[in-house]
Amino acid sequence: MKVRIRDIGSSGLTLEQSVLPHEIGVEEGFLISTEPVIVTAIIDRAGEIILANVELTACSQNECARCLAPLRQRFVMKYQFDFEPSPGDEFIDLGQRICEEIVLGYSSRILCKEDCLGLCCGCGADLNKDKCQCKNKNS
């Protein structure tokens, strides 16, 4: 999601764009989005520095790390970026910075609820819904 520097006037630039995860560099399978990602950005100049306030709205589909229940989560993230372009640069790349923040903020231990009991390692029962069917109740 590149922004042409010369399009950022003295009064700034406001963007709202709907993009697919791969268009901002998020690898397929990392963030499984069920719908396009909405990116809203307010971009201003402060001398030679470009400031961007970005809001990202997306949905993801994952599984609970304990009980494997499917999860659909909607999230809104807000970021502040600053760019110091070199002379001759024509663009700033918001997509790259957004992707970096998504990767850094990603949790591989997503739970359906904080107190999820998970699956029984003996019989595989979902302990949130069912009782353990193991013959040895110490499992």
Q: What is the pLDDT of residue 58?
A: 81
In sequence order, what are the residues at sequence separation of 6 or more whose Cβ sits closer than 8 angstroms to the Cβ of residue 111?
Answer: 64, 65, 66
Q: How far apart are CA 84 and CA 86, in angstroms?
A: 7
Task: Identify the pLDDT of residue 42.
Answer: 94
> CA 57, CA 14: separation in Å to the nearest integer?
16
Reference 18, options 41, 43, 36, 42; nearest CA is: 36
Query: Residue 115 has what pLDDT?
Result: 93
pLDDT tens-digit map of 79-135: 999 999 888 889 999 888 888 887 777 777 888 899 999 999 888 889 999 888 886
Residue 60: predicted pLDDT: 78
Q: What is the pLDDT of residue 51?
A: 94
Inform me whether the pLDDT recorded for 139 exceeds 60.
Answer: no
Please give the pLDDT value at position 34.
59
d(CA 94, CA 87): 18
pLDDT of residue 57: 87
Q: Specify the higher pLDDT residue, 110 or 138.
A: 110
Residue 40, both tokens? 């809203």
What pLDDT was estimated at residue 118?
92
Q: How far apart are CA 6 and CA 89, in angstroms?
A: 10
Q: What residue ranges do the domains of the chain occupy?
A: 2-105
Q: In the prediction, which pLDDT does 50 show?
A: 92
> In this predicted model, what pLDDT tens digit does every residue of 1-50 receive, in sequence order?
888 888 888 888 999 988 877 777 776 555 556 578 889 999 999 888 99
